[in-house]
Structure 1
Amino acid sequence: MTTNLFNRHAASVSVDGTEVPYFSAGDGQAGAPVLVMVHGSTGSTDSHYGYLFPMLSFRQRVVSIDLRPPAEGGELTLAQLVRQVGAVIDVVGGGRPVALMGYSLGAVVAAAVAAERPDEVRQLLLVAGWIKTDGHQQWRNGIWRQLRRTGSEAIRHYMLFCAFSSGFVAARTPQELTDMANRIALDGFVDQQMDLNSRIDISALVPRIRATTLVVGCSQDQMVPRGHSQQLFGAIEDARYTEIDSGHAVVFERPAELLSVIDHFLRDPAAHPAGSILPAARP
Structure 2
Amino acid sequence: MTSSEEPSSFRLAYVPGVTPTKWVRIWNERLPDIPLTLVAVPAAEAADTLRDSGADAGLLRLPTDRTGLSAIPLYTETTVVVVPKDHVVATVDELSTEELVDDVVLHPLDDTLVWERLPGRPAVERPATTADAVELVAAGVGLLVVPQSLARLYHRKDLTYRTVSDAPRSGVALSWPEEETTDLVEEFIGIVRGRTVNSTRGRPRPQEGTKGDQPADKHRKGGQAKGKRTGAGTARRKPAASGSGGRNTRGGSGGSGGTGGARRGRPRRRS
- Indicate whether the TM-score tops 0.5: no
TM score, norm. by length of structure 1: 0.28
Higher RCO structure (Cα 8 Å, ≥6 apart): 2
Larger Rg: 2
TM score, norm. by length of structure 2: 0.29
